[in-house]
Amino acid sequence: MKILVAMKRVVDYNVKVRVKSDGSGVDIANVKMSMNPFDEIAVEEAVRLREAGIATEVVAVSCGVTQCQETLRTAMAIGADRGILVESADELQPLAVAKILKALVDKEQPQLVILGKQAIDDDSNQTGQMLAALTGLPQATFASKVVVADGKATVAREVDGGSETLSLKLPAVITTDLRLNEPRYVTLPNIMKAKKKPLETLKPADLGVDVAPRLKTLKVAEPPKRSAGVMVPDVKTLVEKLKTEAKVL
């Protein structure tokens, strides 16, 4: 069984994000970049399935600038067997990424596609669902437990009312949640081994995919700063301020 794992290069979650002075976007110059945490969980789950003898190959995929090779090398250090970079300097929106992944699914014919439920930079939470729609494959989102056996994937996921379990016939698309697993620490020997693993570079045009943006960002702004609190002498004054000033009552 072949597993395709998609990942995105994002600003590291420990970095305080700064908005550009012109409000056109987020400043990523000289900022530490890393693999999207949800995608790291997806890679770990795929590698665990291969280590359990369920899968035979894990293929890591990333779309974006040349530096995404570093993200793919990290995935191969975790345990992915090879990588594919679809290189593009253009802004890749969720639909464009889903179309690229659909073309790679047609090319690679994986039995399982795993990706993070969302990226921590745009929080779109769209790519996995769009990919499932484009490929016509069954999907399970926000997976907190995955069991693969007898040509089916059993996925436990959290919902507003508690939890539910889905049974999917393979091939299928799964998006991962934080509770699924804890990614392993990448060791130096594995980082050195990852440098020797094959990494294929393609362009969107090679896959026949149009990645032209369909959405335009008008403005990016930081949230307003919180104002200082006010001490009140009694509950009556508090209620009055909530009515007249805060207007929440």
pLDDT tens per residue, range 226-235? 888 888 899 9
pLDDT band, residue 22 (cuts 50/70/90): confident
Instruction: Give the pLDDT of residue 245.
Output: 85
Could you tell me where the DSSP H helices lie in the chain? 37-51, 68-78, 94-108, 127-135, 188-194, 235-244
pLDDT surpassing 80 at residue 89: yes
Q: Where are the domains of the chain?
A: 2-244
Instruction: Give the pLDDT of residue 53.
Output: 93
CATH 3.40.50.620 fits 2-244, yes or no: yes
Instruction: Give the pLDDT of residue 122.
Output: 86
Nearest to 55 by CA among 8, 110, 98, 124: 110
Instruction: Give the pLDDT of residue 27.
Output: 83
Distance CA 127, CA 205 (A): 20
Distance CA 54, CA 22 (A): 50
pLDDT surpassing 90 at residue 73: yes
173, 137 contact by CB (below 8 A): yes
* CA distances, 1 to each of 6, 110, 112, 139, 216 (Å): 17, 7, 8, 17, 39
Reported pTM: 0.84
93, 118 contact by CB (below 8 A): no
103, 135 contact by CB (below 8 A): no
